[in-house]
Amino acid sequence: MANFKVKEIKGVIPAVLAVFNKDEEIDEEGTRLYIDYLLEQGVDGLYLTGSTGEAFLMDLTERKRYVEIVIDEVRKRVPVIVHIGDIGTKKSIKLAKHAYETGADAISSVPPFYWQFREENIFNYYFDIANSVPIPLIVYNIALAGILRLNIIKKISTIENVKGIKYTATTHDQISTIKDQIGQNFLIYSGCDEMAASGLINGADGIIGSFLSLMPELFITIYNAIQNNDLETAKAKQKDAIRIIEYSLHFDYFSVIRLGLKWMGIPGGYSRKPFKNYEGEEEKKIKKGFLDLKEKYQIEEVKFLDSL
């Protein structure tokens, strides 16, 4: 059963990695240590089994097991959103029911993808999932699965149990428009880490993203600065985030995030193939790149950089 009301699910919410061992199996002990680290940093919630969590590289049994481990470790300390999206409605409903029964506070889903479904199909997909469980559904708008246009977002928002959207797009003017046309109670989570400050300025209720898992302290500073109208601090810290992210994107960035966690002594695990994992000379090269970046731009108060 849910422990938090949807209106309480705001703030800095890392998109959680799936921690695998070198044999690509779920590392339960590593997962628990990683989750505890994030909670110790003061994050406001967790987003599980999404793109960052390599959900589509796991089967349904593995996705369910990962959710069980994390929710058990969280112990009701923060809200948990479980991404249950898949191409098929039947599979997504199975995951939604499991998330609800395990104790998730909300579910989320990308639209069905690959076959370029019509808007009627997408609406029906969300309608069926939203009506399969009593916890809130957060729509997931991301280019990887197909960006939803404003008119279909508005239509989906009329489904009783749809309470918000994870908006992973750079068209942040639409965040304000969605709030105006759907209502202030319709929650919006900005999902573009490079534009976290922009999303919040335009009315987002929180931020969800991959790099919040690596450097939650940086994004917490950005979030708090926006809440306190300290735009100078938000701007400076957002620039630091952009520089770090831009460098990371030269590689398989999930694996770079894992390296950053490892350098701090936090289990980040391994990515599943076909993603690449970096070791040996490649790892040394990546580390040197971060050291150069830190020195060039005088980046401060980012823990994984300070650990180098």
Catalytic residue numbers? 140, 166
State how far the Cα of 189 lies from the Cα of 212, in Å rounded to an integer: 13
Residue indicated by tokens 């830190």: 294
Task: Name which of 205, 235, 201 is nearest 218 in CA terms.
Answer: 235
| Separation in Å, CA 273 to CA 20, 56, 84, 254, 267 | 11, 12, 21, 12, 18
State how far the Cα of 79 lies from the Cα of 200, in Å rounded to an integer: 20
State how far the Cα of 15 lies from the Cα of 34, in Å rounded to an integer: 12
